[in-house]
Amino acid sequence: MGSLPPLDAPLPLGPEAFLDESRPVIDFLNGYYRDIESYPVRPDAEPGWLRTLLPDVPPEHGDPVEAILEDVQQHIIPGLTHWQSPNFFAYFPANGSAAGLMGDMLTSGLNVVPFSWASSPAATELESVVVDWMCKLLGLPDRFLFSCGGRGVLHGSTCEGVVSTLAAARDRALRSLGHEGIVRLVVYASDQSHATFQKGTSIIGIPPANFRIIPTSASSGYGLTADSVYDAVEADIASGLVPLYLCATIGTTGVGAVDPVRGLGEVARRYCMWLHVDVAFAGSALICPEFRDCINGAELADSVSMNPHKWFLTNMDCCCLWVANPQVLTSALSTNPEYLNNIGKGGTEVIDYKDWQIALSRPFRAMKLWVVLHRYGAAGMRAHIRRHVEMAKWFERMVRADERFEVVTPRSFSLVTFRLRPQNELEDEISVDALNRKLLVAINTSGRAFMTHFVVDNKFVIRMAMGGAMTQMRHVRDAWKLVKEKAKEVGAFPREYAQVREMN
C-alpha cells in the first residue's frame, strides 16, 4: 500500500491555489487573443500527431501550472482550429466574448449542479428568468413564457433539445396508440433540415424508414413548403401511418433557408403533429425587429430551440429550448428516485430541471447567458448582430459585382454562399465543382481564413459565415482578396472570360 498524503497537504481548491493557478491562465488567454491572428486559422495537422508528442500515461506527480501552459502552447495550440479567430468564416460561428468568458468562469468557479430546485435554488430560478428574457428578446409568442404556462430550459445543444422534444411527442402519441404504435409514427423534415432530426428519430425508437426527407427547391428559397408536407402526410396516412413531428428551420445549416413557420404550423395543427422550430443559428438575429417576420406563426409551434453558443456571444455550450406545454416534456423525461426528491421547501411546486433533459447532472449555464445579457444589454446585442449582417451584405455585393463568381443562394442573415461560375456554356458542373473544391482547399491551406462548403442542387458552394466576435470589416475585405487571389492560383481565369472586372 502507498503512503498516505500528509493531512496538511495544500487543498486543490484552497484560496491560494486558486489565485496562483487561475491568474497565469488569464494571462495566457490574454496573450492567445492578442496573437490569434498570427496562427493559421486551421492547422496543418496530421491525424495521430498529438499522440506522438504526449506521454503514454499521466504524470505520477503533478506539474506546476507554468509547465502545463507551456505544453498547451507547444503541443495543443499548433493543432487547434482557431474558432475565435477573426478570420474564421466556417460552419456557423461559436463566438465567445469577454462577458461569455466571465460568465463561464462564474459557472465553473461556483460549480453548482442545479438538477433540482433544492440542489441549487438560485441557479434553477435564474435559468427560468433568463429563458423568459430570451423568449421576449427573440419576439417569441407569449405562450412560451412562464407566466403563460410555457417554459424554457437551457440544454447543451440543439441535438439534445430535439431528442427531448421527439421523446415528448412520441409519448404523447403512444398514450392513445399503445406502445406497439411506435412503428407507425412518422417524422417530417426537409432536405435542408439539420441531421440531428434524423439521428433523434432513430434514438427514440422510430423506424428509420419513417423519417421523411422532403425535397426543397430554389423556387421556395430552399424552404419547406406546406403543400409538400401536406402531400407527404396524406400519402402516409393512406398507408396507415401516423404523422408525429414536423421540423421547421429558420436559417438552415447549409444555405440559411427559412421555412414558412405559419404554413407548416397549420399543417401540423391539422394532423395533430408536434411542430418544432429550429432557430439554432438565426435565432440570434430575431432580436432585431427587422428579422421578426421569419418567426411569424410560431404561436402554432410546440417547441422552439436556439443556440446562444453560436452567434450570441455566449461561450460553449448553451441552447435555449422552449416548450408550450411543459408537462408533455416532463412526463417523457421525469425520473423520481427517492434520493432526488425535494424535502421541505419546494416540494413538487418547483422546477426540477433534471426532468427537462436527458442527463441528470447539469452545469449552471444560466449564469453565463445572464452575464452576457447583463453586460451587453439588448441594444448591444442588436448592434453585434447587425454588424455581421452588414459585413455579409458587403461580401455579397462584391461577389455579385464580379462576373467570375456567383452568389448561389440568396444571402441569409450573415451567411453568403458563392462559387466560381462556369467559365463558358460548355463547361460541365463536374469540372466547375472540381475547380471550386480546389479553390476552397487553397483558401483554407493558406491559413489566412477558414471557410466550409455545402452542396445544393448538385452544386458545390463555398459558405462564408460571418459571426466572429473579433471579426472586423478589414478581415472580410482580406477574405475577399484571398478568394480572388486563390481563384487565380487554381487556374480559374483563362482568357475565355470576356470582361473580368477587378473589384477593389
Residues of this chain that interact with ligand PLP (CB under 6 A) are 92, 157-159, 194, 196, 249, 252-253, 278, 280-281, 307, 319
Instruction: Kindly state the smallest distance separating residue 158's Cβ from ligand PLP, in Å.
Output: 4
Taking the least distance from each CB to ligand PLP, the nearer of 40 and 96 is 96
Among residues 287, 257, 502, 250, which one has the least CA distance to residue 388? 287
Taking the least distance from each CB to ligand PLP, the nearer of 210 and 307 is 307
Q: Which three cell numbers stand for residue 245?
A: 413531428
Taking the least distance from each CB to ligand PLP, the nearer of 86 and 256 is 256
Neighbours of 178 (CB within 10 A): 8
Decide if 250 contacts 278 (C-beta within 8 A). yes
Instruction: Kindly state the smallest distance separating residue 498's Cβ from ligand PLP, in Å.
Output: 38
Taking the least distance from each CB to ligand PLP, the nearer of 92 and 271 is 92
C-alpha dihedral, 136 to 140 to 146 to 151, nearest 10°: -130
- State phi, psi for 154 to the nearest 5 degrees: -105, 115
- State phi, psi for 323 to the nearest 5 degrees: -130, 145
Tell me which amino acid residue 420 is. Answer: L
Q: Give me Rg for the CA atoms of the chain.
A: 25
Instruction: Kindly state the smallest distance separating residue 238's Cβ from ligand PLP, in Å.
Output: 31
Instruction: Kindly state the smallest distance separating residue 40's Cβ from ligand PLP, in Å.
Output: 23
**Burial track 275-309 (b if 16+ CB lie within 10 A, e otherwise):** bbbbbbbbbbbbbbeebeebbebbebbbbbbbbbb
Residue 363 CB contacts under 8 Å (≥ 6 apart), including other chains? 107, 108, 113
Q: How far lies 398's CA from each of 147, 256, 257, 504, in Å? A: 47, 19, 21, 9
Residue 80 CB contacts under 8 Å (≥ 6 apart), including other chains? 39, 43
Taking the least distance from each CB to ligand PLP, the nearer of 118 and 248 is 248
Taking the least distance from each CB to ligand PLP, the nearer of 286 and 319 is 319
Dist. CA 279–CA 295, nearest whole Å: 9
Running DSSP on this structure, what letter comes out for residue 317? -
Instruction: Kindly state the smallest distance separating residue 264's Cβ from ligand PLP, in Å.
Output: 15
Task: Give residue number: closest CB to ligand PLP.
Answer: 157
Q: How far lies 482's CA from each of 303, 381, 447, in Å? A: 42, 30, 10
Decide if 419 contacts 436 (C-beta within 8 A). yes
Taking the least distance from each CB to ligand PLP, the nearer of 388 and 421 is 388
Instruction: Kindly state the smallest distance separating residue 389's Cβ from ligand PLP, in Å.
Output: 17
Instruction: Kindly state the smallest distance separating residue 316's Cβ from ligand PLP, in Å.
Output: 9
Taking the least distance from each CB to ligand PLP, the nearer of 124 and 193 is 193
Instruction: Kindly state the smallest distance separating residue 281's Cβ from ligand PLP, in Å.
Output: 5
Taking the least distance from each CB to ligand PLP, the nearer of 275 and 398 is 275
Instruction: Kindly state the smallest distance separating residue 155's Cβ from ligand PLP, in Å.
Output: 8
- Per DSSP, the three-state class of 221 is coil
Taking the least distance from each CB to ligand PLP, the nearer of 92 and 460 is 92
Instruction: Kindly state the smallest distance separating residue 253's Cβ from ligand PLP, in Å.
Output: 4
